[in-house]
Amino acid sequence: MRFSAVFILATLCAVLGLSVAYLKVSRLSVPLDPTAEATVWDVEARIAFEGRGQPAKVALTLPDTPPGFALLDEDFVSRSYGLAIRGSENGIPRQAVWTVRRAAGAQALYYHIKVYPKREEATQDPGPAPTFPEVPEYAEPLRSAIEAVLKKAREESADIVTFTSLLVANINESDDENVKLIRKSATEDGWARMLTEVLAGARIPSRIVYGLPLEQDFVDTPLTAWLEVHDGERWHGFNPQTGQDGYPTNFLIWSYDDPKITVTKGVRNIEVGFSGNKTPMPQLSVAKRVESKLDTGLLALSLNDLPVRTQNVYRVLLMVPLGAFVIVLMRGVVGVPTFGTFMPVLVALAFRETKLAAGIALFLIVVSAGLAIRVALTRLRLLLMPRLASVLVIVIGLMLGVSLLSAKLGIEQGLSIALFPMVILTMTIERMSIVWEERGPGTAIKEFAGSLFVAICGYYAMTEPHLVYLMSTFPELLLVVLSLCLCFGAYTGYRLSEILRFRDLAKR
């Protein structure tokens, strides 16, 4: 019964920790590998025009939470222009408005964004369902042509999606007289507009979206028009040239319905061209920007909200449970004897600062020197507390001595001995000298070697860069460590050392 309670708790902790981490990976694109790079698109709109030597005003429609993309960054190159950003309101999309008292000659303004194509399926905001359009008053003979074409498509299709698909393909390709008539009614750049008119004849809500397919780098390209049809639940995209449903890959939607994305006053010959190119960017910084744009509750768990100093403290603290877990394994499963329970973790923490080789050398120097002095103190028959205090004083003296000596010799590692936990060193020396006297040098050295071995293992666990990254980026993994500790708390199997100890019994 106790068994199952432990495992239920352990499972709960593990599931909780892992699912929060999974959400962070999948929703916020936080990478599991710190070196992972994401592809980010730099897209630039260039607005070129000529001033007429009078006050000028240029308004540009800006993309606003384009579906399937995270907008990481935007900036404006405005020169001497005043800039105002208007949020979307009353059906008017978000706009940048540049104004200047006097503009003359060729002018150029730039609008620059960084977008990150999200891995998941484009989740568009369904918004309120559009109302069904009224059947337009077509002029004859267009009216009968459209009716005939609609009738044909209706007969051959099953639902709105296939209907639209067929209809658009038909209008594009058929040699039918009716279709020719319809085609003729469309102006060159009003092709998509004509399609929406025809669709309105079947009372199907449709709209045109203007955007950029982000596939290959491009320079000075206009926006691509795409047809969208609402099937009562959500919008579906259609290629206005083929009727194929779907969107181009990575279709960055810039504006809806209106082909004119600029509104101007006092300028002429306005031209808008778009350029874009792929740039690699560390996935982690992408994730951080995605975080700051979104406002999810998950991010309350991010270390980045803390002051940098505190962050660094936690980066170390979050590794301590891993060190403790190494001890759990070493003592409970392997059966390595150690002095004290957590002494190896603290020594491993000190190794973190001193680096391993220097740390082990310093540790050995201080403990063996301290031990020698401690043995000398035994002869003086000091009482326990004063003796411990004396050993502590001597340990600190030794540390200072080593630091001074290495400063003289120019060995930088020697200075870091100051980071050793001196009380732990003192207790280690005391424990070791007692074990030495009671059970002989063999046992004392064995336990000392065991402690050092566990400390080294702990050091490797606590400094492994990938683990450090994982723990500081996903602090919720603490729950997983907790779960593992709970599991091993219920481990009743043999320790590996016991197999050695009892091996004679196995022979019988």
Partner 1 sequence: MFFDTWLKLRNAGILGLNARNREYIMRHNPRRRYPLVDDKLTTKRLAIEAGIAVPQLYAVFQTEHDLTKLAERLAPYSEFVIKPAHGSGGSGVLVIDGRRKDLVVKPDGRGLTLDEVEFHVSNILSGIYSLGGVPDDAMVEYRVRVDPIFDPVSYQGVPDIRLLVYRGVPTMAMVRLPTRQSDGKANLHQGAVGVGIEIATGRTTHGVWQNRSVADHPDFGVSLSNLEIPNWPRLLELGARCYELTGLGYLGVDIVIDRTHGPLLLELNARPGLAIQIANGRGLRGRLEAIDRLDAIPDTPLERVQLACELFRVH
Which residues of this chain interact with partner 1, rule CB under 8 A?
332, 335, 381, 383-385, 434, 438-439, 443, 490-496, 498-499, 501-506, 508
Closest CB to partner 1 among 59 and 425?
A: 425
The pairing of beta strand 224-230 with beta strand 235-238? antiparallel
Least Å distance, CB 116 to partner 1, is 50
Least Å distance, CB 371 to partner 1, is 16
Closest CB to partner 1 among 136 and 332?
A: 332
Least Å distance, CB 383 to partner 1, is 5
Give 135-138's long-range contacts (Cβ < 8 A, gap of 24+): 135/200, 135/201, 135/203, 136/197, 136/200, 136/201, 138/201
Tokens found for residue 391: 């050993």
In terms of C-beta density within 10 A (0-12 exposed, 13-18 middle, 19 or more buried), how is residue 189 classed? exposed
Least Å distance, CB 508 to partner 1, is 6
Least Å distance, CB 331 to partner 1, is 10
d(CA 223, CA 414): 65
Closest CB to partner 1 among 40 and 343?
A: 343
Closest CB to partner 1 among 300 and 385?
A: 385
CB atoms within 10 A of CB 18: 16
Least Å distance, CB 340 to partner 1, is 11
Closest CB to partner 1 among 141 and 440?
A: 440
Amino acid at 357: A
Tokens found for residue 486: 């709970």
Least Å distance, CB 394 to partner 1, is 18
Closest CB to partner 1 among 315 and 495?
A: 495
Closest CB to partner 1 among 260 and 501?
A: 501
Closest CB to partner 1 among 381 and 408?
A: 381
Least Å distance, CB 493 to partner 1, is 6
Least Å distance, CB 8 to partner 1, is 17
Least Å distance, CB 12 to partner 1, is 21
Cross-strand bridge partners of residue 85? 96
Q: Specify the residue for token string 């699912």.
A: 19
Widest CA span of the chain, in angstroms? 121
Closest CB to partner 1 among 308 and 380?
A: 380
CB atoms within 10 A of CB 102: 12
d(CA 339, CA 350): 16
Give 166-169's long-range contacts (Cβ < 8 A, gap of 24+): 166/243, 167/198, 167/199, 167/202, 167/243, 168/195, 168/227, 168/238, 168/239, 168/240, 168/242, 168/243, 169/242, 169/243, 169/244
d(CA 95, CA 98): 10
Closest CB to partner 1 among 134 and 504?
A: 504
Tokens found for residue 161: 């999606």
Q: How far is CA 449 from CA 329, 373, 439, 444, in A?
A: 17, 20, 15, 9
How many residues are listed for the chain in this entry? 508
